[in-house]
Structure 1
């Protein structure tokens, strides 16, 4: 994208928002808005999550999020979950960009494919966030669906002694993340049905689509359902989905990172200082970093009754998989992959 074209497209966004001061904004986001936090996306060659777990003995890379595989082997997902659990990462600049619209009363909804809970970590109220693929926010039994305490599940991960089991039916416990083979939450469908109908009658609303490949349905169909009289703005490394296959005259496509354009748009709106303040950043060069959480020292809730000792063990494979998640958190995988190729 040329500098002139980029400047003009950002100008179109800013003009639309300024010309329509009561205009609400909707976000549809994916893993790309969290990569600067130290969380990998799924499909980027060499550094994506699937590319890196595929070197282990999995039948296919996506098996780590496949419900039938999880029933047979919990170790890969549990080890990965330990490294990706909420509290280990801080929201990105783009997350706080969304928060700005919420603070100004101009946020309609955030539809997210992400499971990292970073949208709510900024302070956006739950009623505005639809986690299409679930999240680490809650845990449940995959058999009876009974909820399982978050702190207890976190303790099971940290102690690394086994996998959690349901105290009622002894079924397996996992976060309420939608695995392949499971249906999306009813909340996703109910919310989108209402929002889609409301958009038909609204004469002003800007829809941002950011950091997503738009490859996983039904989420990938959301931009297609946006009425043609409303503008859509894609922030992504490349045009994808409906923006590529059925582009509209009113579409705005900004090719680059989500953080980059969050900063540029905020500057032109006159919101930059406020964005820096709420995000805790000093300047545009400051990057978000992953932080380790302290272990839960509480001994009030015994974990022995909900742990199956056969689930996780200190094998070489487990240690290697955990090492991968550590590298993922520090985004050091690209360098490591180059070493592997040379060998």
Structure 2
């Protein structure tokens, strides 16, 4: 493992690794979006230190839990709508557009990767997306505007217009199964890449945190870009320590 704390050296090393890659993958966590003003969930002072998470079984069983979950979603929507993609988002989108990065695997639910220009077919959202909702029974979609209108009109958690089933934001809650299709896409991307860049993740939440290690085991160069130490630093080839946007900035400037 080589740890780089100097900004200029970290920028140069990341640029060289990206330039030499044939099939790169970027994996992003909350640290990428905190630089857009979106608080993370797990660190001291994060959302879970202020509010207990609502478990999936409680959402299914209890109307009060559903209402609380929806009120939190509407609060988050205000944060997400006010945020804009930052330098790291733009750099990653540029690398996708250039063809260097074939997939972006993210733990984030804020939609900023899409807004920065990453196309849906290149984006793998492991924990879902809080900017849309859907029925848990039939899968029919519902906009957050419609969900809010339903809640305001009835005083109850929204129900599906098609089948009457429970509607939930399209995020993976505690205790909810991970999305099988997205997990399969992420596994294939990690297995097939020759450069895996993990940015802004503490790499403690499994099964998502298993993908950097899977890439490394399959021969990829593993680079961790993060402000703080992570659980997988010792497994990485390179650890670039510092502000994520600042490290990625030259790549954003050179993006198409």
Distance 1:77 1:222, change over 3 A: same
Q: 1:12 maps to which residue?
A: 13
The Cα RMSD (Å) is 2.7
Matched, 1:209 2:202: no
Kindly state the Cα deviation for residue 210 of structure 1 after the two structures are TM-superposed: 1.0
Distance 1:176 1:238, change over 3 A: same
Q: 1:77 aligns with which of 69, 81, 95?
A: 69
Q: 2:222 maps to which residue?
A: 232
Distance 1:92 1:242, change over 3 A: same
Structure with a larger share of its residues in strand: 2
Kindly state the Cα deviation for residue 6 of structure 1 after the two structures are TM-superposed: 4.7
Q: 2:140 maps to which residue?
A: 147
TM-score, normalised to structure 1, is 0.65
Distance 1:24 1:252, change over 3 A: same
Q: Give distance in 1, aligned partners of 2:201 and 2:3.
A: 22
Q: Give distance in 2, aligned partners of 1:216 and 1:165.
A: 31
> Retained in 2: the 8 A contact 1:138–1:147?
no
What secondary structure does 1:227 align onto? helix
Q: Give distance in 2, aligned partners of 1:49 and 1:79.
A: 14
What secondary structure does 1:62 align onto? coil
Q: Give distance in 2, aligned partners of 1:3 and 1:170.
A: 54
Matched, 1:42 2:41: yes
Q: Give distance in 1, aligned partners of 2:191 and 2:211.
A: 12
What secondary structure does 1:253 align onto? strand
> Retained in 2: the 8 A contact 1:30–1:112?
yes
> Retained in 1: the 8 A contact 2:138–2:165?
no
Q: How many residues align?
A: 248
Once the two structures are superposed, the pairs formed by residues 276-295 of structure 1 within 5 Å of their partners are none
Distance 1:76 1:51, change over 3 A: same
Q: 1:188 maps to which residue?
A: 182
- C-alpha deviations, 1:234-269, integer Å up to 9, x for none? 11122212224xx24xx2112222212122xx1xx6
Distance 1:79 1:107, change over 3 A: same
What secondary structure does 2:232 align onto? helix
- C-alpha deviations, 1:98-129, integer Å up to 9, x for none? 11102222121000011111111112110000
What secondary structure does 1:164 align onto? coil
Larger Rg: 1
Q: 2:27 maps to which residue?
A: 28
Once the two structures are superposed, the pairs formed by residues 1-343 of structure 1 within 5 Å of their partners are 5-18=6-19, 20=20, 23-46=22-45, 48-53=46-51, 61-63=52-54, 66-71=55-60, 72=62, 73-85=65-77, 87-142=81-136, 144-150=137-143, 151-156=145-150, 161-199=155-193, 205-228=194-217, 229-244=219-234, 247-248=235-236, 251-263=237-249, 266=250, 272=253
Kindly state the Cα deviation for residue 29 of structure 1 after the two structures are TM-superposed: 0.8
What secondary structure does 2:224 align onto? strand
> Retained in 1: the 8 A contact 2:3–2:240?
no
TM-score, normalised to structure 2, is 0.85
Gaps of 5+ in 1: 54-60, 200-204, 279-343
> Retained in 1: the 8 A contact 2:5–2:242?
no
Gaps of 5+ in 2: none
Q: Give distance in 2, aligned partners of 1:24 and 1:158.
A: 48
Kindly state the Cα deviation for residue 154 of structure 1 after the two structures are TM-superposed: 4.7
